[in-house]
Structure 1
Amino acid sequence: MSRHYRLLPAVLLSLYPTLAAAQVLNVAFGESLEPYVMPQQASGIEVEIIREALRAEGLGMQPVFMAQKRLPLALKNPRIDAIATIRPDSGLKAAYSEPYVYYEDVAVTLRSRNLQLREVAELGKYSISAFPLATQYLGAEFARMAANNPRYGETGNQVDQNRLLYRHLIDVVVADQRIFKYMNQRVVSDFREVVQPVSYHLLFEKLPYRVAFRSAALRDRFNRGLATLNGNGLYQQILNRFQYADSVD
């Protein structure tokens, strides 16, 4: 065989990088953030957005799931290339991407109780179950309220928040609205329990989250891939796949 023909595959791979073996990045995700992160399916809103943004740049992704509180420390492991669901104010020194997902945290109460919540400080009168590290993410006023509220607690198993609320064991759940609605599905399917009508109190601003990369060059490629997803409509398609109703009127 001519040496020119032997060289042809290498030439093609250099011209078309997607034909070559893609570089695979190990990306750390929190393990209890359904529907944003769904470890058993290796899927979810965030997993799919990051996977597709990297794919658009010819990169692969291997998700690594860990406890939410361990995420800021994940880059200490040299095998981890990036961390999802993080913000620059976490204190972690890294190459941060553009925002790729927004969480809409709300206070949730039983509609039957007709509680009126207009300010964060008013939460101090009630028993609360919040998501992990909520006091770091929801602002100084929320942190002060939590510090002075002996009935404030956090849980990483967020389906428990819904169950405690419906059993009248807590007054308020603080959670992302998508997560709360998804957990309603699990209350019914996993525990055969009844969900009840709730009220959503919009006390918090939407929070943008970024990917923290070890490498600025990989961060830049992710940003380009994210722009591609927004431009071709795939970003919105991913969000639409993970829409959940309240299950009750």
Structure 2
Amino acid sequence: MRTNVLLPLLISFLLIVPLSSHAHTVIIALGDFQPMFAPEGEPALFKSIIDGVYKHIPDRQVQYLYMMPTKRLLNMLNKGEADGAANIFNQAEVQGCITDPVFRYEDVVITRTSKKFKIMSLEELSGKTVVGYQRALNLLGDKYKAFMEKNPKYQEVGNVTDQARLLSQDLVDVSIGDKYLFLHSLKQIAQDKFNPSDYQIHTIFPPVYTYMGFNDQQYCDEFNTALKKFQESGEYEKVYSQFLKVYGYATP
């Protein structure tokens, strides 16, 4: 009789335990371009930011879906196949919520050190051969668009590696784009010959931020609270500094 009573209780317990542990897991889809994202086990800038935030949410486990093209990543989030997705540009992309600004892009002007350019404004790019990333004219503001449309030596390419190659081979004076993406590409094509002192970074653009997107407001709220703690701890900026050091650049 005692066995008959305990058996249903045991079965109920076994069914409940997996469900309760799974309730603490959040599934997050990641992008597919380095160094912001990377295959599992490899360092990735934006994943490191997410990891740092979730250290402040100890009862939440994170399961990542790696190297997702942007369109697939958004579809998975909006269809509920993932709880969250990284690198969302605006609310219109998602049916759920977006967080406070999380991921920082730092578009900069990069030149060869040997050219000894001092660039502190757009006007100082006048007369120079310039390569930008695809759609830079639409993304870097009206002033940039108006200025570059008057420059017959301006071009845009669809691959950051092409930008790095053009500058490294001295085929252009200036490359414009995110410094982490550019330095990663430059290191990939130069390999052992990569020397960061051969290049100079000029900061003339304000940073641009993207967001985490979630399909549940609770996830957005807890992420925002943890993000603030992560930033206030100083660890947020430390992640960006550490990734610059990978490319041989010291930070202030």
Bucket of the pairwise TM-score, normalised by the shorter protein = 0.7 to 0.9
Letter in structure 2 aligned against 1:212:
G
Query: What residue number does 1:162 align with?
Result: 164
How far off is 1:241 after superposition? 4.6
Deviations 1:117-168 (A, max 9, x none): 2222443533222234433432221232344444433345323322211211
For structure 1, the 5+ residue unaligned runs are none
Aligned pairs for 1:228-247 within 5 A = 229-230=230-231, 235=236, 238-239=239-240, 241-244=242-245, 247=248
Matched, 1:208 2:209: yes
Deviations 1:41-88 (A, max 9, x none): 4640112322454573524333353556x5896568623554422333
Letter in structure 2 aligned against 1:188:
A
Aligned pairs for 1:23-102 within 5 A = 23-29=25-31, 31-32=32-33, 34-39=34-39, 41=41, 43-51=43-51, 53-54=53-54, 56=57, 58-66=60-68, 70=71, 74=75, 78=79, 79=81, 81-88=83-90, 92=93, 94=95, 95-102=97-104
Paired residues in the alignment total: 240
Letter in structure 1 aligned against 2:38:
M
Deviations 1:209-245 (A, max 9, x none): 2123343333223323434544666645644553335
Contact 1:126 1:151 in 2 (8 A): yes
Query: What residue number does 2:187 align with?
Result: 185
Query: What residue number does 2:220 align with?
Result: 219
For structure 2, the 5+ residue unaligned runs are none
Contact 1:124 1:148 in 2 (8 A): no
TM-score by length of 2: 0.72
Contact 1:182 1:244 in 2 (8 A): no
Which structure would you say has the larger Rg? 2
Letter in structure 1 aligned against 2:103:
V
* Cα distance in 2 for residues equivalent to 1:3 and 1:228: 46
* Cα distance in 1 for residues equivalent to 2:169 and 2:102: 35
Deviations 1:4-24 (A, max 9, x none): 96255667678xx5x446544
Q: 1:135 aligns with which of 131, 137, 147?
A: 137
What RMSD, in angstroms, separates the aligned Cα atoms of the two structures?
3.8
* Cα distance in 2 for residues equivalent to 1:148 and 1:38: 38
Taking a change above 3 Å as real, the CA distance of residues 53 and 5 of structure 1, as seen in their structure-2 partners, is: farther
* Cα distance in 2 for residues equivalent to 1:112 and 1:131: 23
* Cα distance in 1 for residues equivalent to 2:230 and 2:84: 19
Taking a change above 3 Å as real, the CA distance of residues 92 and 144 of structure 1, as seen in their structure-2 partners, is: farther
Percent identical among aligned pairs is 21
